[in-house]
Structure 1
Amino acid sequence: MTSDAGVPLLPTNRGIEKRRIGEEASVSGAVFNVSTSIIGAGIMSIPATLKVLGVVPAFFLIVIVAFLSDLSVNLLLRFTYSGDPTAFPGETATYGGVMRESFGWVGALLVRLSVIISNWGCLIVYLIILGDVLSGSEHEESLHLGVLQEWFGSHWWNARPYALLFVVIFILLPLVLYRRVESLSFSSAVAVFLAVVFVGISFVMAISALFQGKTQKPRLFPDLDSQSSFFNLFTAAPVIVTAFTFHFNVHPISSELGKPSKMKTATRISLILCAVIYFSVGFFGYLLFGESIASDILVNFDRSSASPFLNDVVRLSYALHLVLVYPLLNFSLRGNIDELLFPKKPVLAKDNIRFISLTSVLLVLSYLAAIAIPDIWIFFQYVGSTTIVSIAFIFPAAITLRDVRGISSTKDKVIAMIMMILAVVTSTISIATNISNGTKS
């Protein structure tokens, strides 16, 4: 999940204005926007899910979550644009608006808090990954060197806290101080290009290793030697759910398309495309590194691999991608927090003290959390099992079952009930298993 998604809960006036003058976005453009909303930091942990589940179950889980995401988006669109298919009813044309219509101000608040927590968690994940790239990490008693350590040796300034502090002060701070998201349009384009570079080089390295006979033998099915091993399988589900969660960006994109049917088409194409990319990255990453694969696959691309130059290109290209995406996510997060805390204050960009204070606090808290949390798997487990699964499945299912517009069919309600039960049961087992594993360790 990435978050260059714009501001998720604000009205889509720009889209409405476009339709008034007859200028509608294309399906192909929406496919690009949805796809870039889906593919983010979650791709780093997809290969580790294949290690937990095995290749075959992981493939089916990716397909199932993509299918359920398609269903949940369709339910959201139904309750947003029911009636005249070309009518976009103002306030309800946002996720928060649909929840407010169904559950009042409590529903809108729950969506807003879930988006804030999830997006702030993504900022922390970005910093954790940047720390892994620059200063390395330890994975299952195996030490993976960072780029700075490989280039300059082990010095105190290469340590994670100091390396990240440098990035935060001299790179991220100037970027997050931009007051208009349009100012970041060029960096967004570069970020997308760098993500493509990462995926392309990863594929080339895996195919090269395959022809040279240097790949690892992946397990097709999980290794179930105890009851705890069975419950550990559920810990992979939140990672996949997080990777496919883009629902907070559905309304801003759909509002520019003119017809909900176009958004359904764009969503379906994007989900298929991203499912193929995710499984490909997971499979080739598993082929390259086998059972030694880390929860953040970038740490595996160190000097111990066959091609040091390509390893550095892979790591640095995706690290730079995250640096450029970070301010976009921060822009959305900062706007939502300001609207929640200061609903009657002037526009944030025009209040210097409030703007700089909120920006600084978010950056400092994200930095401290990234230093305290050693592994991105922890984020995916707990946030993916709570706020993210709520955004993706529980809230759309609840809206359908509440049915304030009286448009849900029996089939819709059955789908919503199954979706909610699967989400709640899987998340509960995942959280319980992680707490149990943490207690044992």
Structure 2
Amino acid sequence: MTIGSLAPAPAPAERKRSRKGKEVEVERLPLLPSRREGAGELSEFNGASFAGGVFNLSTTIVGAGIMALPATMKVLGLVPGIAMIVLVAFLADSSLEMLLRFSRAGKKTSYGGVVDDAFGEVGRVLLQVCVVVNNVGILIVYMIIIGDVLSGTSSSGEHHSGILEGWFGMHWWDGRFFVLLVTTVAVFLPLACFKRVDSLRYTSALSVGLAIVFVIITAGIAIVKLLCGNISIPRLLPNVTDLASFLKLFTVVPVIVTSYICHYNVHTIENELEDSTQIRPIVQASLTLCSTVYITTSFFCFMLFGDDTLDDVLANFDSNLGIPYSSFLNDAVRVSYAVHLMLVFPIVFFALRLNMDGLLFPSAKPLSSDNQRFTLVTVLLIALVFSGANFIPSIWDAFQFTGATATVAIGFIFPAAIVLRDPHGITMLRDKILSVLMIALALLSNGIAVYSDVYSIFHGSKASPQA
């Protein structure tokens, strides 16, 4: 089953009424057998709720990005940094609105279907490749952060101990490889076995709650220290002294862009809604919630740690914060977010598996009806992510790679290109102007970011906030 293989919305006569009396479009339920293949299983599903949609989409958005965004404040300063978060949120909302509008016009029920409608099979396959690259990179980031939190990390030559090391001391069983192996087998594999995204609504709700707990604790610590006079308002503007420092400003763009990409899951969530017209309010509510979390976290974390903010800000929570119960609060922050990422993992993995299956088995029957293929694809992808997390040392490296390539294509270039292609003649002048602007900004900023990385390599410095 591919990202573009979900059938168009059926005619009214082909629809099935749920127990609540509302129409459920049978063919729009992803990863499930069609009515001809298993009407019995389908009759148990009455449609996802608004709250479930918000939780699942918000969980798709708020993942590892929240941990890397404070480091972008160190590069940009607070004012440009917050402005960039708001700008990218606006662009993400616009691109999602365009995508949903063209999916309705073409009666398509997947992102790949919309791309196929505009550019044919080649475009759909290219999109699937981008989703696979993006999601593999994001899931590797999740595992790296979980490893940093539980087993510790060494950044800029300084060792930051993990929770297990702090609690029990250094042992073979609290090393990164073993901890990630246990987490993968005990947590990721079971959660990856769900075949419907709405089945993850409870874990998504818990993950959003844990992200908010992280924000509340961090804000509380920063406010207490500010009132006690132990910290001051952080730098508001970037510190640009030469060409290298100017180019480094653009390296944060892929990180911020990566933090808002949810386009690969929005149709899956819409297809399972009891009322599909709720998808726009769900998108807007999710983006508002996530932007608030991003801005609050970036502000208070940068206030706490200033220019000592690490690529993964969780690694900063391993020292004395200068307030009572510092050790307890450090552990609470790190544990809450590590568990949050464990619960985010399956919803991002859901789209990864769907698209990888589409690339490997484009003509096969639906994935849910073939348990052997479902298991094979699941195990192979988790093994790939696990291997990457053990060989890539920094979340900044992973973010820049995916953010400068596949992520920008998924979030901005493909939606803008669809609008400019305009296969159904519904594009307005405002849409065309915004689409050209999105493509230009994406190509320019990421081209400069890649150039900055190459420039830094040849000049012996690392293009990250630690440089």
**What is the TM-score when the length of structure 1 is the normalising length?**
0.88
Letter in 2 for 1:58: G
| Rounded Cα–Cα distance in structure 2 between residues aligned with 1:174 and 1:127 | 16
1:64 to 68, 72, 87: 87
Matched, 1:11 2:14: no
Structure 1 stretch 242-251 or stretch 18-27: which is displaced more? 18-27
- Is the contact between residue 381 and residue 434 of structure 1 (CA under 8 Å) also seen in structure 2? no
Residues 173 and 409 of structure 1: CA distance in aligned 2, closer, same or farther (over 3 Å): closer
The CA deviation string for residues 128-184 of structure 1, in whole angstroms up to 9 with x for no partner, is: 001100111122233211111111222343332232223223443344345565665
Which residue number corresponds to residue 4 of structure 1?
A: none
Look up the match of 2:34. Answer: none
Counterpart residue type for residue 354 of structure 1: R
135-144 vs 367-376, which moves further: 135-144
2:401 corresponds to: 382
Q: How does 1:119-268 map to 2 (within 5 A)?
A: 119-177=135-193, 184-255=200-271, 256=273, 258=275, 262-268=278-284
What are the Cα deviations for residues 102-144 of structure 1, in whole angstroms up to 9, with x where unaligned?
1000111122111111111121111100110011112223321
Q: CA deviation at 1:347?
A: 4.2
Contact 2:52–2:201 at 8 Å: present in 1 too? no
Deviation at 1:404, TM superposition (A): 1.6
Q: CA RMSD in A?
A: 2.7
Q: State the AA in 1 paired with 2:332.
A: V
User: Which of the residues 39, 45, 57 maps onto 2:68?
Assistant: 45
Cα distance in 1 for residues equivalent to 2:283 and 2:185: 37
Distance change in 2, residues 1:216/1:249 (3 Å): same
Question: Matches of 1:139 and 1:127 in 2, distance apart?
Answer: 16
2:311 matches 1:311: no
Once the two structures are superposed, the pairs formed by residues 68-83 of structure 1 within 5 Å of their partners are 68-82=91-105
- Residue 365 of structure 1 corresponds to which residue in structure 2? 384
Residues of 1 paired with 2:160 and 2:24: CA distance? 55
The code of the aligned residue for 1:361 comes to L
Structure 1 residue runs of 5 or longer lacking an equivalent are 1-6, 83-88
How many residues align structurally? 427
TM-aligned CA distance change 1:320 to 1:408, over 3 Å: same
2:457 counterpart residue number: 438
CA deviations over 1:351-399 (Å, ceiling 9, x no partner): 4543333332222221111111111111111211111111111011111
| Of 423, 443, 447, the match for 1:428 | 447
Output the CA distance in 1 between the equivalents of 2:355 and 2:172: 38
- Please state whether the residue corresponding to 1:385 is helix, strand or coil: helix
Superposition deviation, residue 53 in structure 1:
0.3
Q: Distance in 1 between matches of 2:49 and 2:179?
A: 42
Is the contact made by 2:318 and 2:330 (CA closer than 8 Å) also made in structure 1? yes
How far residue 270 of structure 1 moved from its aligned partner, in angstroms, is 3.2
Range with greater deviation from structure 2 (415-424 or 193-202): 193-202
Letter of the 2:384 partner, please give it. L
Partner of 1:281: 297
Asked if 1:407 is matched to 2:394, the reply is no
Residues 41-67 of structure 1: CA deviation (Å, up to 9, x unaligned): 111111111011000110111111111
Give the counterpart of 1:113 among 124, 129, 137: 129
Instruction: Check 1:384–1:217 CA distance in 2 against 1; reply closer, same or farther (3 A cut).
Output: same
5+ long unaligned stretches in structure 2: 26-45, 462-467
Residue 340 of structure 1 aligns with an amino acid whose one-letter code is: L
What percent identity do the matched residue pairs reach? 44
Is contact 1:400–1:416 with CA below 8 Å preserved after alignment? yes
